[in-house]
A = this chain, B = another copy of it.
């Protein structure tokens, strides 16, 4: 039952065509159909905030990814899918030429407003070279949400001067995404140097007792620095999305 249907029902009540008890009965089902309306509002909100809908391609077939991507492209200027394989990319490209594929970040996207202004303020940082794929997923996500993203890569804590040499960039950030594997210490160190929120992304980079990112995850959850929160291992998208959300909020007051 959508808004139009409710209006119709009310008009019938007003005209005496529908008895009150019958109307009451219909409306008793409203909460959940009405939440169908809520979904529409939600859709409006999506348009309003400029946050693109995002497909998690992992676990879907190339054909499914292509169909969903194409349908979203009919109604959105920007469409994005994460964890996209080369085969999935080919399927989408066949159906919808003009998409861009980041081999590094495994992100596939369409941006029909590439020249729209970006809100500066997001900085994405990595401990090592191997963390860059996760960082790229975060960076592209934040970018498509309308943020300008600066990148500070390969500044792990074992060579502190590399990090401190980029302090000016870090301190200009309104929000930072910090991706690191192994001991996962970088978010703590970064958070101690800046006054902005740090979104920590543990990566699965490492071996042995890294337990596929568990060591980094636990380290980040136990950060002794203020202003740090954590997303799932290798969840560059989640971090980029949250960073974009915070950065855009902060720019609007």
Tell me the A residues contacting B by CB distance below 8 Å: 3, 6-7, 10-11, 13-14, 16, 20, 23-24, 27-39, 42, 45, 49, 51, 54, 58-60, 64, 127-130, 156-162, 164-168, 174, 181-185, 188-189, 191-193, 195-197, 199, 202, 204-235, 238-239, 241-242, 245-246, 249-253
Closest to A241 in B: B226
Assembly of this chain: how many copies?
8
Inter-chain CA distance A10–B12, complex, in Å, is 11
Q: Can you list 10 pairs linking A and B with CB atoms under 8 Å apart?
A: A7-B20, A32-B168, A38-B161, A54-B226, A157-B188, A217-B221, A228-B238, A229-B242, A249-B249, A250-B250
Expressed in whole angstroms, the minimum distance between the Cβ of A117 and any Cβ of chain B is 15
**Candidates B49, B167, B192; contact of A32 at CB < 8 Å:** B167
Expressed in whole angstroms, the minimum distance between the Cβ of A234 and any Cβ of chain B is 5
Inter-chain CA distance A192–B189, complex, in Å, is 13
Q: Is the CB of B221 within 8 A of A219?
A: no
